[in-house]
Structure 1
Amino acid sequence: MGQTITEKIFSEHAGREVYAGEIVRVPIDMTIGNDITTPISIKAFEESGAEKLANPDAFSIVMDHYIPAKDIASANQAKISREFAYKHDLKYFFDEKDMGIEHALLPEKGLVIPGDVIIGADSHTCTHGALGAFSTGMGSTDISFSIITGGNWFKVP
C-alpha cells in the first residue's frame, strides 16, 4: 500500500518505513519559537539542567507578537528570549530589525522546505504543511524537549 506524504516524511526521518498509528521518534528540522511561548520553553530547558541545545541551527526564535513591546511584561518576555538566543549563539534569531510573522518569515528565509519536520509552540505552525513539510504546533514543554534532544515522539497520523 502507498504512503501518505506524512508517512513518507516520517519514514525518511525515522530511517525506515512507518505507517499511520505507529509511534516514532524523529529528528526535528526546525523548531520555531516566538516572543510569547519561547520564555516558557526556556524555563523548562533551564529546569531540566540542560546546558546546550542539541542543534542550535535547528531552533529559531522570531520576535513576532510583542515587538515593539506594549508593556513591561512583554518587554520582559522579549528580554528572556534575547538573552537565551545570545547565550546559545542562535543563528536564526529574528529580532526587531529583521523580525516578522514567524510563519511567513521562515519560508521567506529558506528555513522551511518540502520534506522537513517543523514544530512550534503556536497553533498556526501547521501552515508550513502547505509547503510540503510536516508541521505541527506543540506545547512549550515539548518544544523544550525537542531543543534539548534534537527530536520528538509522534503518533503517525
Structure 2
Amino acid sequence: MGMTITEKILAAHCQREKVEPGEFIQADVDILYGNDVTAPLAIEKFREWGADKVFDRERIVLIPDHFAPNKDIKAAEQCKVLREFARQHKIKNYFEVGRAGIEHAFLPEQGFVLPGDLIIGADSHTCTLGALDAFASGVGSTDLAAAMITGKVWLKVPSTQKFIYRGRLGPW
C-alpha cells in the first residue's frame, strides 16, 4: 500500500523514500513558531544550552499573541524576551505586540504555511495547520529550543485510521 500524505511529507523531510507508522524519525523543519507564553521558555533553554545562533533567522516566527495587548507587567516582560531575542538573532519574522493576531490564523494568512511543509509550534493548536495539507505538530518549549538551534525535530510517524462509511450521507 502507498503512503499517506502525512507519511509522504515526513519522508521528504528526512530525505527518505519511505517512513512507517510508529517509527521515530528526525526531520527538517520548514517553519517553527512560538508565542509570548511558550517561546520565552524555549529561549531560556536555548541560552542554558550555550547556543549562540539560530539555524535560520528566516524560518523562525515569533508572535506575542496570548496576552496582547499585555495584561500586566509579567506579560509585558514575556513579550520583551521575544523582542530582545529576535533583535539579537536578527529574526526576520518577529511581529510586535498588536501587529499580528492569533498565530494559527496569522501564519497561513501571511503565507508561512504551504502544502507539503513541516511546521512545528510551541502550542497545542499547531496541528490545525494540517488543514492546509501541511504536517503540523505542537511541541514543548524544549523541543522548540532544540529546533531553533538545529532546524530539526524528532517525531513518531503517526498511525493511520481508515473509516468506511456505509449507506448514504444525509443532505448537508
Q: Same fold (TM over 0.5)?
A: yes
Structure 2 runs not aligned, ≥5 long: 159-172
* 2:3 alignment partner in structure 1: 3
Residues 104-139 of structure 1: CA distance to partner in whole angstroms, max 9, x if unpaired?
101011000011111111110001000001101111
Q: 2 CA distance for matches of 1:32 and 1:140?
A: 10
Query: Are residues 1:13 and 2:13 paired?
Result: yes
* 1:129 alignment partner in structure 2: 130
Give the counterpart letter for 2:77 in structure 1.
N
C-alpha deviation, 1:152, in angstroms: 1.1
| Contact 2:69–2:98 under 8 Å retained in 1 | no
Structure 1 runs not aligned, ≥5 long: none
Give the counterpart letter for 2:139 in structure 1.
M
C-alpha deviation, 1:12, in angstroms: 0.9
C-alpha deviation, 1:97, in angstroms: 4.8
* 2:170 alignment partner in structure 1: none
C-alpha deviation, 1:146, in angstroms: 0.5
Structure 1 counterpart SS, 2:48: helix
* 1:70 alignment partner in structure 2: 71
Give the counterpart letter for 1:117 in structure 2.
L
C-alpha deviation, 1:96, in angstroms: 2.7
- How large is the RMSD of aligned CA atoms in angstroms? 0.9
* 1:79 alignment partner in structure 2: 80
C-alpha deviation, 1:94, in angstroms: 1.0
Q: 1 CA distance for matches of 2:98 and 2:137?
A: 27
Q: 2 CA distance for matches of 1:8 and 1:135?
A: 13
Residues 61-97 of structure 1: CA distance to partner in whole angstroms, max 9, x if unpaired?
0110112111111011011110001111111111135
Count residues in correspondence: 157
| Contact 2:125–2:138 under 8 Å retained in 1 | yes
Query: Are residues 1:142 and 2:143 paired?
Result: yes
Question: Which is worse superposed, 125-134 or 11-20?
Answer: 11-20
Give the counterpart letter for 1:82 in structure 2.
R
* 2:165 alignment partner in structure 1: none
Give the counterpart letter for 1:59 in structure 2.
I
TM-score relative to the length of structure 2: 0.89
TM-score relative to the length of structure 1: 0.97
Which aligned segments of 4 or more residues in structure 1 are displaced greater than 4 angstroms? none
Q: 2 CA distance for matches of 1:82 and 1:148?
A: 18
